[in-house]
Amino acid sequence: MKVNTKPLNQINEEAIRVLTRELGPSDTARFIHQFTTGDGDYTAERRERLQDASISDVMQAIKKTPGSF
């Protein structure tokens, strides 16, 4: 038995079309995002960014964020 396989890029395009049709563009993007990986070292970057920050500094930044407290 011979199995015809489609190129992966064609399968991806078809899948995105189906997901977009069924879920809408926003939920399609959210769905796809869960399977992608970021880059960099979040923990090292966070430590570097916050090494001189006090609890008070962090609380002030949170309070400036829309929708918080």
Residue 23 identity (one-letter amino acid): L
Q: Which pLDDT score, from 0 to 100, does residue 4 have? A: 84
Q: Which pLDDT score, from 0 to 100, does residue 38 have? A: 77
pTM: 0.49
State residue 26 phi and psi, 5-degree precision.
-65, -50
| Per-10-residue mean pLDDT, the chain, length 69 | 88 96 96 86 90 91 81
Residue reference for tokens 């400036």 = 64
Helices (H), 1-69: 8-23, 25-33, 42-50, 55-64
The answer to whether 13 touches 21, Cβ cutoff 8 Å, is no
